[in-house]
Amino acid sequence: MPGYNPMTARRIVVEINRTHAAIDASLLRMTQLASSIVNASNEAKLPASASQFALEDMVKGLSTIVEGRGQFVSAHHKMVEIKNASNLKNTEIGCSPGPICNPFQPAAQPEHTVLREAS
């Protein structure tokens, strides 16, 4: 069984939280930008074709971020699996209560679980 330093693991949890927040902030900013582009185009009475290419590229970028977010969530789940197979299995290092983080109850991992910083 691997033996990990709890403080090092705790730093990873903090970085997971910060990274997840940054990804979600990027998603929100891009959706706000797309909305602003539509509003500005309408206010300027531009034809729909004038902003279409910009919006299509925005959606492609947004889709890429959403795909990356999914990969990040998958990596997060894998890190929890590593923790649960280590000396830290029964150590609370900032995980929200729930099936993915409960070391005493092996359960199917939900799609949307996030580790959080401990208060």
Tens-digit pLDDT profile for residues 27-74: 999 999 999 999 999 999 999 999 999 999 999 999 999 999 999 999
Both tokens assigned to 66: 């959403």
3-state helix, strand, coil in the chain (%, to 5): 65, 0, 35
Amino acid making up residue 115: L
- Which pTM does this prediction carry? 0.71
CA dist 4 and 90 (Å) reads: 12
